[in-house]
């Protein structure tokens, strides 16, 4: 598995000439190491005489990876005198610079500029593999021909190198850190100190450091040194302690890498377990036998370290934030990863959750997370104290809630993830006109609730409407009314709620069911003959509706023969008068007076025909 921490890349369109101090560019944690190939484009070491002032059109170098070594990254560097040539050719493929650096030297011949370019060629190298790599197309002829200062000071140079990071499962767990930029020392600036951060030394066995530098001369070894943590480095007989930059290639043991250095040093004894940084120092300049101050011009392009490191690296990703409409909580699904690592991430690694900078919740990992592994989690966060519709969520792993962590990691600055969250909320509930219905008895009737949808604006999709008995049920989608077309009310008046999906949330509507006493329907006659059909004076919409009514029945002579109420219906028998109480009355027409005792209605009168 490729485990990479990308710290910085500047893709400049168009590319601008910049200078940059050496700094961490990319880091690999796992069973990784590196090798480098390259070649000069100088014919000879250019400080010996002025016999040439041009570069070679091409040069080549052979790449050989063992069968158990798999290239995971490859970077091409090229450099030279003058203004950067940002397009070159490698094995017939045009390569464009993705980044370039420049430095300058205030020489006796005036201001002189030098450049370095960089390109990621991982895909090309993985495709072509072990082969001869031929580099061409680098053109600095205009700079050399128009500014004689380069050749007068014998700082006319050009060259190239490919760095290959590879994985080998037989290796220990290493941390490979590539630092790049462009730094210069010369007669004007004779010393340069570079601090390398973001390294972690768990075991210094096999530790090494490599350099790519330009314009070093073997014959100029005046006060020249390269040191790490105040320990001068050497690799005799190739690189002596007083002549580190001398046109050599440690990978091929070549001393003919003219005006360039591609070197690697064992630093097992120069770095200590527990170190998290290293100090690199370059020096040049001293007096020759004639009392003249002389110095080499050295341009440092990159530094690479390979250190044994067994550390986890906690990162966190928010997979999903579930926001309920009009809710005071967020449900956050997250995952903690241990990808860029060389050791397990221990259980109990703390996680802190911040909203608008305020700590609102804490969690921790539940189990040890292996190298390359992850663990998912879910947490609910209350947001009721925030009165804005947008909140900023910050989640930090390896944070105890105070900004402090408890786990040493390969990278301490990639522990957080942030995003803005919009809390969805609906508009206030819209009131609809009440829905009336005629009382079928005991203040109850059957309503067709869907008729209320006719009063809702066309901007809402009423086909998605659902009906509820309470606002809480409508919000929580609980207990919808299953048959709204035939709903029997329970109260009068009774509130009904409608919920319709409406971006970004939903819309609630509210209306009342109002049961009314509608005018009763009085029949023209009835036949109390006990045949089970029309056996009593059945006034529709009266009983258990106008429950305080009084019904008076008179015969044709004006004599009151029956008095009824909500509990006493007229079955054609008399209950008033002196004669025949309880007896069926004769066939005939009878006069009724119906006192509804309702302030909305007057008494009703009329004739009813009784027949057997």
Q: What local confidence, expressed as pLDDT, does residue 163 receive?
A: 98
**pLDDT surpassing 50 at residue 136:** yes
CA–CA distance, 178 with 199 (Å, rounded to integer): 10
Say if residue 533 is exposed, middle or buried (CB neighbours under 10 Å; 0-12, 13-18, 19+): exposed
Q: What local confidence, expressed as pLDDT, does residue 291 receive?
A: 87
Give the confidence band of 387 by pLDDT, cuts at 50, 70, 90: low
User: Averaged over 82-103, what is the pLDDT?
Assistant: 96
Task: Specify whether the CB–CB gap between 93 and 137 falls below 8 A.
Answer: no
**pLDDT surpassing 80 at residue 110:** yes
Helix (H, G, I), strand (E, B) or coil at 590: strand
User: Averaged over 523-543, what is the pLDDT?
Assistant: 94
Q: What local confidence, expressed as pLDDT, does residue 341 receive?
A: 86
CA–CA distance, 144 with 56 (Å, rounded to integer): 13
Q: What local confidence, expressed as pLDDT, does residue 17 receive?
A: 33
CA–CA distance, 275 with 331 (Å, rounded to integer): 41
Q: What local confidence, expressed as pLDDT, does residue 592 receive?
A: 96
**pLDDT surpassing 90 at residue 295:** no
Task: Specify whether the CB–CB gap between 437 and 490 falls below 8 A.
Answer: no
Average per-residue pLDDT in the chain? Answer: 90
**pLDDT surpassing 60 at residue 386:** no
Among 125-139, 274-288, 533-547, where is mean pLDDT lowest? 274-288
Close Cβ partners of 569 (under 8 Å, ≥ 6 residues apart): 536, 537, 538, 543
Tokens representing residue 281 in the block: 């120092």
Query: Domain 430-516's class?
Result: mainly beta
CA–CA distance, 13 with 138 (Å, rounded to integer): 20
CA-based nearest residue to 84, from 112, 111, 115, 56: 115
For residue 14, cis peptide bond before it (omega within 30 degrees of 0): yes
Degrees (nearest 5) of the Cα angle 15, 150, 57? 70
Q: What local confidence, expressed as pLDDT, does residue 385 receive?
A: 63
Other Cβ atoms within 10 Å of 517 Cβ, number: 17
**pLDDT surpassing 60 at residue 5:** no
Give the confidence band of 275 by pLDDT, cuts at 50, 70, 90: confident
Task: Specify whether the CB–CB gap between 217 and 45 falls below 8 A.
Answer: yes
Q: Where are the domains of the chain?
A: 4-308, 315-422, 430-516, 522-612
Instruction: Give the CATH architecture of domain 315-422.
Output: Sandwich (2.60)
Task: Specify whether the CB–CB gap between 479 and 514 falls below 8 A.
Answer: no
Task: Report residue 202: phi and psi, to 5°.
Answer: -95, -30
**pLDDT surpassing 60 at residue 247:** yes
**pLDDT surpassing 70 at residue 124:** yes
**pLDDT surpassing 80 at residue 231:** yes
Q: What local confidence, expressed as pLDDT, does residue 458 receive?
A: 93
What are the tens digits of pLDDT across the range 488-522? 999 989 999 999 999 888 999 999 999 999 999 99
Identical fold, 315-422 and 522-612: yes
Going by their DSSP bridges, the two strands 550-554 and 560-564 should be labelled as: antiparallel
Helix H segments across 546-595? none
- Give the bridge partners for 336, in sequence order: 316, 375
393-413 as b/e, with b when 16 or more CB fall inside 10 Å? bbbbbbbeeeeebebebbbbe
Q: What local confidence, expressed as pLDDT, does residue 3 receive?
A: 33
Task: Specify whether the CB–CB gap between 409 and 349 falls below 8 A.
Answer: no
**pLDDT surpassing 60 at residue 15:** no
Domain 522-612 has CATH 2.60.40: yes
């Amino acid at each position: 598995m490729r485990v990479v921490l990308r710290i910085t890349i500047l893709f400049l369109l168009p590319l601008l000439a910049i200078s940059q101090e050496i700094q961490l560019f990319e880091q690999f944690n796992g069973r990784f190491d590196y090798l480098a190939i390259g070649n000069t484009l100088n014919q000879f070491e250019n400080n010996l005489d002025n016999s040439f002032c041009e570069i070679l059109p091409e040069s080549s170098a052979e790449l050989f990876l063992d069968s158990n070594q798999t290239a995971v990254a490859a970077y091409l560097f090229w450099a030279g005198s003058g203004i950067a040539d940002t397009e070159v050719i490698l094995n017939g493929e045009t390569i464009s610079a993705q980044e370039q650096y420049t430095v300058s030297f205030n020489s006796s011949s005036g201001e002189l500029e030098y450049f370095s370019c960089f390109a990621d060629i991982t895909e090309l190298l993985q495709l072509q593999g072990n082969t001869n790599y031929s580099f061409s197309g680098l053109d600095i002829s205009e700079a050399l021909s128009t500014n004689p200062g380069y050749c007068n000071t014998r700082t006319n140079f050009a060259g190239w190198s490919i760095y290959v990071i590879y994985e080998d499962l037989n290796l220990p767990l290493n941390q490979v850190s590539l630092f790049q930029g462009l730094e210069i020392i010369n007669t004007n600036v004779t010393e340069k100190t570079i601090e390398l951060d973001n390294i972690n030394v768990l075991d210094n066995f096999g530790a090494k450091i490599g350099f790519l530098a330009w314009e070093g001369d073997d014959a100029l070894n005046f006060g020249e040194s390269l040191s790490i943590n105040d320990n001068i480095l050497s690799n005799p007989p190739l690189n002596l302690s007083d002549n580190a930059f001398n046109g050599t290639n440690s990978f091929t043991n070549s001393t003919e890498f003219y005006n360039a250095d591609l070197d690697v040093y064992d630093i097992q004894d120069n770095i200590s377990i527990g170190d998290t940084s290293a100090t690199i120092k370059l020096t040049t300049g001293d007096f020759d036998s004639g009392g003249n101050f002389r110095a080499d011009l050295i341009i440092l392009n990159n530094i690479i370290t390979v250190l044994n490191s067994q550390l986890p690296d906690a990162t966190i990703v928010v997979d999903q934030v579930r926001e309920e409409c009009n809710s005071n909580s967020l449900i956050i699904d997250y995952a903690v990863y241990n990808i860029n690592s060389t050791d397990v991430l221990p259980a109990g690694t703390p996680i802190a959750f911040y909203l608008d900078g305020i700590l609102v919740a804490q969690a921790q990992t539940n189990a040890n997370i292996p190298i390359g592994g992850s663990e998912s989690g879910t947490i609910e966060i209350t947001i009721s104290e925030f009165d804005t519709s947008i909140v900023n969520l910050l989640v930090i792993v390896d944070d105890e809630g105070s900004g402090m962590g408890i786990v040493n990691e390969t990278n301490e600055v990639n522990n957080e993830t942030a995003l803005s969250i919009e809390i969805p909320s609906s508009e206030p509930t819209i009131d609809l006109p009440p829905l009336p219905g005629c009382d079928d008895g005991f203040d109850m009737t059957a309503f067709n609730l869907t008729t209320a949808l006719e009063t809702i604006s066309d901007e809402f999709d009423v086909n998605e409407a659902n009906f509820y008995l309470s606002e809480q049920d409508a919000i929580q989608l609980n207990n919808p009314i299953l048959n709204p077309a035939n709903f029997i009310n329970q109260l009068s008046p009774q509130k009904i709620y409608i919920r319709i999906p409406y971006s970004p949330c939903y819309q609630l509507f509210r209306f009342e069911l109002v049961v009314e006493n509608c005018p009763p329907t009085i029949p023209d006659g009835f036949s109390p003959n006990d045949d089970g059909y029309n056996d009593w004076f059945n006034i529709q919409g009266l009983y258990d509706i106008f429950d305080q009514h009084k019904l008076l029945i008179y015969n044709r002579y004006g004599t009151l023969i029956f008095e009824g109420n909500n509990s006493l219906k007229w079955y054609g028998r008399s209950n008033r008068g002196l004669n025949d109480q309880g007896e069926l009355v004769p066939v005939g027409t009878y006069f009724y007076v119906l006192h509804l005792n309702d302030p909305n209605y007057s008494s009703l009168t009329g004739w009813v025909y009784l027949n057997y």
